[in-house]
Amino acid sequence: MTSSPERSFFSTRDIRQAGINPNYWYVVAQSSEVKTQPIGITLWERRIVLFRDTQGKVAALEDCCPHRQVKLSHGRVQGDRLECAYHGWCFDSTGRCIDVPYLEKNQKLSSSKIRSYPVREQDGFIWLFPGDQAVEKVADFRISEWEHLNYIATVSVIDCNAHYSYLIENLMDMYHGHLHQDWQAWADPVLQNLNEKRDRVDAFYQAQSYYKIDKIWSISQLFFPALRRLHPEPLNVSYVYPHWVSTLGSDFKIYCLFCPRSLTSTRAYLVHFTSLNAFWRLHKLHVPFRRFVKNRLFGSAQKLLDGLVRQDVLMIEEEQQAYLNNPQQHNHELNRAIAGVQRLIWVQATEEIE
Ligand code: FES
Ligand SMILES: [Fe+2]
């Protein structure tokens, strides 16, 4: 029996055991989550503490006090330093120990440093580079709509007990719209084109949509599916490693920003934007008013987005459980985009060039 190339690819590589390529910027928190006190996060088995100094600048350190290995995120921020909860040792934003409250005159501070990570605050999120600092790249994945006055944002946090590959496969497979039934703005997707590169997969679907942001009749169709009149819209989804972005026509744009925690746990931030570009009269108004409208409408799709996420997470976690129960079980996959996603994950995780 001859085996297809796809078959031999999957039989030799277990994608659910793939790691991450650390030489990318990952999203580890929303800006609004990092306030005056430290927070602990996990990025691919690494425990990291985030805190702000007196200038509001975010720092990221290994979340482990070198004295007794407890989490520094239990501590507190004192000025520009992070103070451990247990005995009060203090660390600066580079991870250097700069004070021990009970140090005797003949004793010296430990010269050992805890690891610090490159971190930046951009487009509403905290981005962290966990990889080799010698190859640190510019964080080129931008979310320009975050500040743009014509876009209304909603953020839904995804926490799922599953390998990140299950989530990105869900996001790239528009045929799973079946799960969401009447909740989604699109229907009848057909995959038309697939482009694969070393660091991204772009899938181009043709879909149908009933929604037009500037048409009042769209509102009634939202609540009464029987009234829906469909029109064709391009639906494009891209895995821009390690994140995801999608557009439906010109009214909607969605990002999913990944923070894989471990082989079986993933956090991600789904950021949904509704465009106000079609309301040209709005653009003539004063900037402060437009900003007021943007801020006021922040989160207006929350209920819908959270509901969609709940449905997806249920499926993704069941897939993970089925895999854990029987890792040898092969899925029967028909969507070409999934094979592309899996190839990309493997290439990135192993730095292989296929
Ligand atoms: S464990 Fe942190 S100061 Fe002792
Ligand atoms: Fe979904």
Ligand 1 pocket check: which of 70, 73, 83, 98 to mutate, most ligand atoms within 8 Å of Cβ?
Answer: 70
- Structural domain contains residue 40: yes
Question: What pLDDT is attached to residue 74?
Answer: 98
Question: What pLDDT is attached to residue 233?
Answer: 86
Mean pLDDT computed over 104-127: 92
Question: What pLDDT is attached to residue 5?
Answer: 44
Q: Please indicate whether residue 152, judged by its CB atom, sits closer than 6 Å to ligand 1.
A: no
pLDDT beyond 50 at 334 = yes
Question: What pLDDT is attached to residue 353?
Answer: 42
Mean pLDDT computed over 37-61: 97
Q: Please indicate whether residue 100, judged by its CB atom, sits closer than 6 Å to ligand 1.
A: no
Q: Which amino acid is at 308?
A: L
Between 139 and 51, name the one with better pLDDT: 51
Between 73 and 1, name the one with better pLDDT: 73
Ligand 1 pocket check: which of 84, 99, 112, 114 to mutate, most ligand atoms within 8 Å of Cβ?
Answer: 84
Mean pLDDT for all residues in the chain: 89
One domain for residues 281 and 156: yes
Confidence tier at 224 by pLDDT (50, 70, 90): low
Peptide bond between residue 242 and the one before it cis (omega within 30 degrees of 0): yes
Question: What pLDDT is attached to residue 11?
Answer: 52
CA-87 nearest atom, ligand 1: 3
Mean pLDDT computed over 137-162: 91
pLDDT beyond 60 at 4 = no
Tell me which of 109-123, 205-219, 288-302, 330-344 is least confident: 205-219
Mean pLDDT computed over 311-333: 94
Question: What pLDDT is attached to residue 216?
Answer: 61
Please say whether the beta carbons of 22 and 35 come within 8 A.
Answer: no
Above pLDDT 90, what percent of the chain?
68
Mean pLDDT computed over 223-237: 78
Q: In what order do the strands lie in the sheet with 39-43?
A: 39-43, 46-52, 58-62
Ligand 1 pocket check: which of 68, 91, 114 to mutate, most ligand atoms within 8 Å of Cβ?
Answer: 68
Between 117 and 219, name the one with better pLDDT: 117
CA-65 nearest atom, ligand 1: 2
Q: Please indicate whether residue 84, judged by its CB atom, sits closer than 6 Å to ligand 1.
A: yes
Confidence tier at 354 by pLDDT (50, 70, 90): very low
- Please give the distance, rounded to the nearest whole angstrom, from the Cα atom of residue 141 to the centre of ligand 1: 37
Q: Rg of the Cα trace of the chain?
A: 23
Number of separate domains in the chain: 2
CATH value at residue 310? 3.90.380.10
One domain for residues 186 and 123: no
Q: Please indicate whether residue 89, judged by its CB atom, sits closer than 6 Å to ligand 1.
A: yes
- Please give the distance, rounded to the nearest whole angstrom, from the Cα atom of residue 226 to the centre of ligand 1: 63
One domain for residues 118 and 189: no
Confidence tier at 1 by pLDDT (50, 70, 90): very low
**Cα dist. 148→151, 153, 284 in Å?**
6, 10, 15
Above pLDDT 70, what percent of the chain?
90
Tell me which of 93-97, 117-121, 146-150, 168-172 is least confident: 146-150
One domain for residues 181 and 203: yes
Tokens of 173: 């497979």
Positive or negative, the CA dihedral 209, 215, 220, 226 is negative
One domain for residues 120 and 265: no
- Please give the distance, rounded to the nearest whole angstrom, from the Cα atom of residue 172 to the centre of ligand 2: 9
Confidence tier at 321 by pLDDT (50, 70, 90): very high
Packed helices 336-350 and 164-172: angle between N→C axes, nearest 10 degrees: 140
Question: What pLDDT is attached to residue 220?
Answer: 63
- Please give the distance, rounded to the nearest whole angstrom, from the Cα atom of residue 107 to the centre of ligand 1: 16
One domain for residues 237 and 216: yes
Q: Which amino acid is at 226?
A: A
- Please give the distance, rounded to the nearest whole angstrom, from the Cα atom of residue 24 to the centre of ligand 1: 32
Residue 254's DSSP bridge partners are 246, 272
- Boundaries of domain holding 108: 24-135
Q: Which one of the ligands is nearest to 100 CA? A: 1
One domain for residues 169 and 252: yes
**Cα dist. 213→153, 252, 273 in Å?**
14, 9, 12
One domain for residues 268 and 169: yes
- Domain final residue pick, 93, 117, 135: 135
All residues at 6 or more sequence positions from 276 whose CB lies less than 8 Å from its CB, including other chains:
150, 151, 152, 213, 282
Positive or negative, the CA dihedral 158, 160, 164, 167 is negative
One domain for residues 130 and 196: no
- Structural domain contains residue 343: yes
Q: In what order do the strands lie in the sheet with 186-196?
A: 151-160, 265-275, 252-262, 243-248, 231-240, 200-209, 186-196
- Structural domain contains residue 3: no
- Structural domain contains residue 215: yes
- Domain final residue pick, 116, 135, 154: 135
Mean pLDDT computed over 224-249: 86
One domain for residues 172 and 205: yes
- Structural domain contains residue 107: yes
Q: Please indicate whether residue 191, judged by its CB atom, sits closer than 6 Å to ligand 1.
A: no
CA-89 nearest atom, ligand 1: 3
- Structural domain contains residue 8: no
pLDDT beyond 90 at 229 = no
- Structural domain contains residue 19: no
One domain for residues 248 and 104: no
Q: Please indicate whether residue 230, judged by its CB atom, sits closer than 6 Å to ligand 1.
A: no
CATH value at residue 29? 2.102.10.10
DSSP-assigned states of every residue in 67-119: TT---GGGSEEETTEEE-TTT--EE-TTSBEEE-TT--TT------B--B--E
One domain for residues 287 and 157: yes
- Structural domain contains residue 14: no
- Domain final residue pick, 135, 165, 199: 135
Show the DSSP H helices in the chain as ranges.
5-12, 164-172, 177-180, 217-223, 287-296, 302-325, 336-350
CA-100 nearest atom, ligand 1: 3
Q: Which one of the ligands is nearest to 64 CA? A: 1
Between 107 and 260, name the one with better pLDDT: 260
Closest Cα to atom 3, ligand 1: which residue?
Answer: 87
Count the neighbouring beta carbons within 10 Å of the beta carbon of residue 205. Answer: 25
Please say whether the beta carbons of 164 and 187 come within 8 A.
Answer: no
Most confident option among 32-36, 264-268, 272-276 = 264-268
